[in-house]
Structure 1
Amino acid sequence: MLVSQLAHGQGPSEEEVKKANNPLANSKALNLQNYYIPTLYDNPNLKANTALIRYAMPFADGKVLMRATLPLGTTPSGYSPNGSPKYSSGLGDLNFFVTYTFSKPDAKTLLGVGPQVVLPTASADALGAGKWQLGGAFVAFNAASPAFQWGGLITYQTSIAGDEDRVSTALLVVQPILLFQLGKGAYLRSTALWNFNLYNNAYNVPFGVGAGHVAKAGNLLFNIFLEPQFTVLHEGAGQPALQFFGGINCQF
C-alpha cells in the first residue's frame, strides 16, 4: 500500500521538498539513518557502523524543537590473542537538544539555539563516553531560493559527571548543509559532519557528495538519500577515511 502510494501518489510541492531537509521544520519526524565506515586511517582493515534512530517534535507552533538521537553501533574494541580485530556492538549514548527559533516564521533564514544533553546509555565502553555531558546547539537554514538551500548545525558538548576512570570530553561538531534541487523531488546534497575533539586535539573533516529524493504518500513526506563522504583533513588515530551516510526520513 505505502509503496504504491509513493509510486503513484501526488508528488511533493516545492515547499514540501524544502521542508524535507529543513532541520527546523515545524513537523514531527522519525529518521532512520546509517553511517558505514569501510576503512579507518592507520588501521585500514578495521570497519565501523552506526545506525541512528532520530525523532524530532516541534512545540509552541514550531518555535521550539526537540530532537533526540539514539545510536546503535558496531565499533573496533581491541584485538584477540591471534591478532584478529574485536568489535563491540550495542547502544551508544543518547543525545538530545532543544532549540528555540528566534527568527520570524517568514524570515529568509531560520535561526535556532538551545541546550544539548548527552546521557551515558552506551552498552559498552567502546560505544560511548561514559560521561554525562552538557552543551548547546545552533541551527540555521535558508530556503529563500527554490533551487539552492543552505544552512548548518553546530553543537558543543563537554563532560560534567560520570565514570572518573574515563577520559573527559569536549566535542565540537559542525555540519554544513548544502542542497541543490533537480526537480520532481530529486536533489543533490552535502551534509558531512566535521568532528573536533577539543580535549585531545583530534579532528576529522569530511566532504560529502550525495543525492536524495523526496516523495509523498498521503500526509507522510519521505526523504530517501545516500551520501558518500570523503575525509579531506584529519588528525588522531582511528579517524574514518571514507563514510557512507544513508537513510530514510519521514515527516508527518
Structure 2
Amino acid sequence: MKKIILFVGGILAVGLLHAQDKAASDAQANNPLANSIALNFQNNYVPKLTNAPYEAYLNTTWIRYAQPFVKGKLLLRVSVPFSTVAVPNVATGIVNTENGLGDMNAFLSYNFVSKPTATMGVGPMVTAPTAAENLLGSGKWQGGVAFVAFIAKSPVFQFGGLATWQASFAGDKNRPSTNFAAIQPFYFWQLGKGTYLRGAPTWVFNFKDDSYSIPLGLGIGQVLKMEKTVFNLFVEPQYTMLHKGTQPQFQVFMGINLQFPN
C-alpha cells in the first residue's frame, strides 16, 4: 500500500510540475522581451475616427521581427507597417485612399533585468521615413528611447508595458516636425489550456499639437505549441475613452505571434 501511495504521489507531483511549466510557457508567449526569436503578424483596423466623416478609416498591418543576442541581454525588434488611409475630401465628398508601406522603426533593448518572473529593458529607437505616400508617414527621421517591462510572478496574471518617446531630427523640410510619446500597458489573465484574456491598447500623446488618444482594450487569445514553435493568436476590440483631436474611436487589434527556439 505504501508503494502505491508513493507511486500515485509521484504521478501527481509530475503532473503538477508539468502544469506549472505549461502555465509559465503560456505566460512567456506574451513577453515582448522573451529570449527567443519572434515573428509577429498584427493588424489594427480602425473603422471609426473621432471628429472625422464616417467614410474615414484606417487599417495597418504590422510585420515585426525580434532577435535576441548575448544570451538574451540584448534584443533587436524591427517593425514594418503596411497601411491603408481613407480620408474624405470635404469639398468634393470624394474619398481619397492611399495604401502601401509606412515608416519602418526599430529599437534595441538592453535587458537589465532578465528573470523568469520579471524582464525589463531600455534602449534607443529610430524611425525611418520609408512611407510610400505622404498620408502613410511623417517624412521625417525620428529618434528616441524605449522602455519595456514584463512581470510574470503569477502564472495566472501577467502585466507590463512599453513606453516610447521619439522626435524628428532630419527629413523633409516641408513636413512638420514630430514629438510624441506612446504608452502601451498590457495585461493578461490565463484561463487555462492556453486560453487567456488580454488587453494591450496604445496611448498616444502628440506634444506638437497637444492631441492625445487613450483607448482601453479587452480581448481573448489562444497559445498553441507545435513541436518547438509557439503560436499565439488573439483578437482585441479597443474603445477610446479619452481623446483630443482626430483619433481612432473604435478599433480591432488582432494578430498571430510566433516564437521560435533561440
TM-score normalised over the length of structure 2? 0.89
- Out of 147, 162, 176, the position equivalent to 1:138 is 147
Work out whether 1:249 is the aligned partner of 2:257: yes
Q: Partners of 1:42 and 1:81 in 2: how far apart?
A: 16
Q: Partners of 2:192 and 2:88 in 1: how far apart?
A: 47
Q: Gaps (5+ residues) in structure 2?
A: 1-18
In the alignment, what sits opposite 1:180? 189
Q: How does 1:140-159 map to 2 (within 5 A)?
A: 140-159=149-168
- Out of 64, 67, 73, the position equivalent to 2:77 is 67
- Percent of pairs identical after alignment? 48
Work out whether 1:96 is the aligned partner of 2:118: no
TM superposition shift of 1:104:
4.2
In the alignment, what sits opposite 2:13? none
Q: Partners of 2:29 and 2:95 in 1: how far apart?
A: 39
Q: How does 1:1-150 map to 2 (within 5 A)?
A: 13-43=22-52, 44-77=54-87, 79=89, 82-106=92-116, 108-150=117-159
User: 56-65 or 39-48: which moved more?
Assistant: 39-48
Query: Secondary structure of the residue that 1:16 maps to in structure 2?
Result: helix
Q: Quick check: 2:73–2:114 contact (8 Å CA) kept in 1?
A: no
Could you say if the C-alpha distance between residues 214 and 104 of structure 1 is closer, same or farther in structure 2, counting changes exceeding 3 Å? Answer: closer
Q: Deviations over 1:173-197 (max 9, x none)?
A: 0000110000000000010000111
Q: Partners of 2:102 and 2:120 in 1: how far apart?
A: 29
Q: How does 1:221-236 map to 2 (within 5 A)?
A: 221-236=230-245
User: 73-82 or 207-216: which moved more?
Assistant: 73-82
In the alignment, what sits opposite 2:205? 196
Aligned residues: 241
TM superposition shift of 1:20:
0.6
In the alignment, what sits opposite 2:177? 168
Q: Deviations over 1:38-65 (max 9, x none)?
A: 1111222211100000000000000101
Query: Secondary structure of the residue that 1:13 maps to in structure 2?
Result: helix
TM superposition shift of 1:105:
2.8
Q: Partners of 2:113 and 2:216 in 1: how far apart?
A: 29
TM superposition shift of 1:77:
4.5
CA RMSD of aligned residues (A): 1.6
Q: Quick check: 1:139–1:152 contact (8 Å CA) kept in 2?
A: yes
Query: Secondary structure of the residue that 2:28 maps to in structure 1?
Result: helix
Q: Quick check: 1:58–1:65 contact (8 Å CA) kept in 2?
A: yes
Query: Secondary structure of the residue that 2:80 maps to in structure 1?
Result: strand
